[in-house]
Structure 1
Amino acid sequence: MQTIYAAKFARRYVGPTSQWTRERWATSDGDFVDVDWCQDGAPQGEEAPLLVLFHGLEGSSNSHYAQAFAAETRARGWHMAVPHFRGCSGELNWAPRAYHSGDFEEIGWMLSRFRSQYHGPMFAVGISLGGNALMRWAGEMGRAATQVLDGVASVCSPVDLTTSGNAIDSGFNKAVYARMFLATMKPRALQKLKQFPGLFDPMELMAANTLYAFDDVFTAPLHGFRGTDDYWDRASAKPGLSRVQVPALVLNARNDPFIPASSLPTKDQVSEHVTLWQPETGGHVGFTAGRFPGDLKEMPWAVLEWMTQHG
């Protein structure tokens, strides 16, 4: 209920809708990524911090959490940017690759690009899938991450992809959430097949009724994994949390329907630079506060407050 309520009913911001300016970045493989910059009275110059927000599965700058963070950065006078994973900005990308939960190479390229053009304080937040990829990057980079960012945070991220994937593919989650994700992922994959005939078997794709089956046909082989099991195992951020050297916040509600509490990292599994926040409630990015219909400002405020104090 918290998950659905936050996404569908709670207030995302107070005042006017956030305004975005889009910038297209060319990639080294002849493709592109679209970056949306929040223009809601953002300060000029580099004295203010920059927040880079990586969206979740099938997300964008229009997602409820992105709009809530935009409102909070506006209130603080921060800059904010939302880089879209390939295919998520409303236009099909040009290359065969798409995006996946452990895409830390793409995260690294994006962050390096931001750092090359912005020299003030810089933080990154990843939501769900984006948070797993971001923490995967932080674990891979180790101390070098501190040369790029002042702090990172993941929000409701499935850092153990196998456990979370199995949870989404079961019971109520399969009937509601898996079906919702597949409703947009399958058509996009078929568009990709038109670009690159023979990329995968369309009959197997259409028969997939779980994220596991979809990843086995499309995501895993397209990105160099042997199958879903190999993908979920190698792409999970949890094993690398002990190597994180940049200030990091890992926030997960213990009643998240996608992420069983038993799979959440414990203090002995992370480095001294990682702070674990595991409130009992909040669902999947479902943190709301205030009287009906409630609003989403509490979580972005808390995350940015943590970054201000620890970055």
Structure 2
Amino acid sequence: MITQADFHPAFWLRGSHVQTILPNLLRPRHSIPLRRERMELPDGDFLDLDWAPNVDGPLVILFHGLEGSSRSPYAAGLMHRLHDQGFQALTMHFRGCGGEPNRLPRSYFAGDTGDMAWVVEQLTRRFPERPVAAIGVSLGGNALLKWLGETGNASPLTAAVAISVPFDLDKAARRMEKGLSRVYQGYLVGRLKRSTQAKCSRMVLPIDCDSLSGLRTFREFDDAVTARLHGFKDVDDYYGHCSCRQYLRGIQVPTLILHAMDDPFMTPDVIPTEAELSSSVNLELARHGGHVGFVEGRGSYWLERRVPHWLQGSLAAGA
């Protein structure tokens, strides 16, 4: 089902770039104290979880976006609000995103569902009496929706929310090569190159480390680095297998997707049609909102109201 979101920004906040950039400038990065837990993975690597203060409510796991972390303003804001609403919130850092480089040559990618599946399995064993929900943001949202579609009725999650998802990775990458979106691309690709170059100095990687400086776009980086590190033939093979749009019909868990039509990280034609959604998915579209923005006004963030409210209703219905 596709419905119109009830997000209404102040008149001076309707620009997509204002919506995208302003929250990163204004929101605090540390809103509640977090407890770090390191989980050792079966392949010898590790993941870091950041836990909000303990409460007895349902578990809600946040999967961050590209080069994000629990320090990202959207994550800090959501974690704080979820905690206030009685949820046990935590952020799972993808490999290498918790502030310390991971041990293996591989990193993380937009279709990286194995680690989230493993973490959820560990948590459901640890807390068998608690329902578990998940929130995926941008790249993390793509991976979450892909996993939900892959697992169908077998998903261990009770509910899920995905925010500002690049449903079609190829189209999203090409959008980032145009207009002001190139600024975001330059910033993010620069961060990816720096972290990869640092890894090249510590271990042997199956990539051409000398070519990193010449990579300018997401497609170039994903072809030379992401695809090679994670077993894909090339960038088209990677994008083709990992774009979540093709998995949406398989989702059987109550799922809310929040998306803005003016998201500068992608064009409107990446948004799935109603026929591509399962009956368990509600896609709420807003005319404005940018990429993970949705700022209503000074100090007012729609995501921090909408997401906990929907989770409360969904988890109560599934209890």
Q: How many Å separate the matches in 2 of 1:302 and 1:12? A: 19
Q: Residue in 1 aligned with 2:154? A: 144
SS of alignment partner, residue 286 of structure 2:
coil
Higher relative contact order (CA 8 A, sep 6+): 2
Counterparts of residues 250-289 of structure 1 (less than 5 Å):
250-289=257-296
1:127 equivalenced with 2:137 (yes/no): yes
Of the three residues 41, 64, 75, the one matched with 2:73 is: 64
Asked whether the equivalents of residues 31 and 77 of structure 2 are also in contact (C-alpha less than 8 Å), the reply is no
Q: Provide the C-alpha distance between the structure 2 equivalents of 1:262 and 1:197, rounded to a whole number of angstroms.
A: 40
Q: Whole-Å Cα distance in 2 between the matches of residues 12 and 74 of structure 1? A: 16
Provide the residue aligned with 2:310 in structure 1: 306
Instruction: Report the equivalent of 1:201.
Output: 208
Tell me, what secondary structure is at the counterpart of 2:296? coil
SS in structure 2 at match of 1:256: coil
Post-superposition offset of 1:154: 0.5
Counterpart CA distance in 2 for 1:225 and 1:82 is: 27
> Offset at 1:12?
4.8
Q: Deviations over 1:191-218 (max 9, x none)?
A: 2212322521123221001111111111
Q: In structure 1, list runs of 5 or more residues that go unmatched.
A: none
With normalisation by structure 2, the TM-score equals: 0.90
AA matched with 1:136: K
Q: Deviations over 1:146-205 (max 9, x none)?
A: xx111011100111111111111222211x101111221111101221232252112322
Q: Residue in 2 aligned with 1:295?
A: 300
Secondary structure of the residue aligned to 1:195 is coil
In structure 1, C-alpha distance between the alignment counterparts of 2:76 and 2:159, rounded to whole Å: 21
Letter in 1 for 2:300: D
- Pick aligned residue for 1:83 from 84, 92, 111: 92
Runs of 4+ in 1 over 3 A off after TM superposition: none
1:220 paired residue number:
227
Q: Which position in structure 1 is the counterpart of 2:184? A: 177
Give structure 2 stretches of 5+ with no counterpart. Answer: 1-17
**CA distance in 2 between partners of 1:28 and 1:178 (Å):** 33
Mark the CA change 1:70 to 1:218 in structure 2 (over 3 Å): closer, same or farther: same
| d(CA) in 1 for partners of 2:88, 2:241 | 33
Q: Distance in 1 between matches of 2:313 and 2:264?
A: 30
Structure 1 CA distance, aligned partners of 2:41 and 2:84? 33
Q: Give the distance between the partners of 1:92 and 1:155, measured in 2 at CA.
A: 26
Name the aligned partner's letter for residue 140 of structure 2: G
- In structure 2, what is the equivalent of residue 97 of structure 1? 106
Give SS of 2:104's match. Answer: coil
Q: Which amino acid aligns with 1:33?
A: L
Alignment of 1:227-242 (within 5 A): 227-242=234-249
- Give the whole-Å Cα distance in 2 for the aligned partners of 1:214 and 1:27: 26
Query: How far apart, CA to CA, are the structure 2 residues paired with 1:227 and 1:195?
Result: 25
Aligned residues: 297
Cα separation, 2, equivalents of 1:288 and 1:28: 40
Relative to the length of structure 1, the TM-score reads 0.92
State the SS of the aligned residue for 1:93: coil
Aligned to 1:68, the other structure's residue is in SS state helix
How far apart are the structure 2 equivalents of 1:100 and 1:284? 19
Q: 2:24 aligned with 1:7, yes or no?
A: yes
Which residue of structure 2 lines up, in the alignment, with residue 50 of structure 1?
A: 59
Distance 1:25 1:187 in 2: 25
User: Paired residue for 2:9?
Assistant: none
Aligned equivalent of 2:161, options 140, 153, 159: 153
Tell me whether 130-139 or 106-115 shows the greater mean CA deviation: 106-115
Letter in structure 2 aligned against 1:130: G
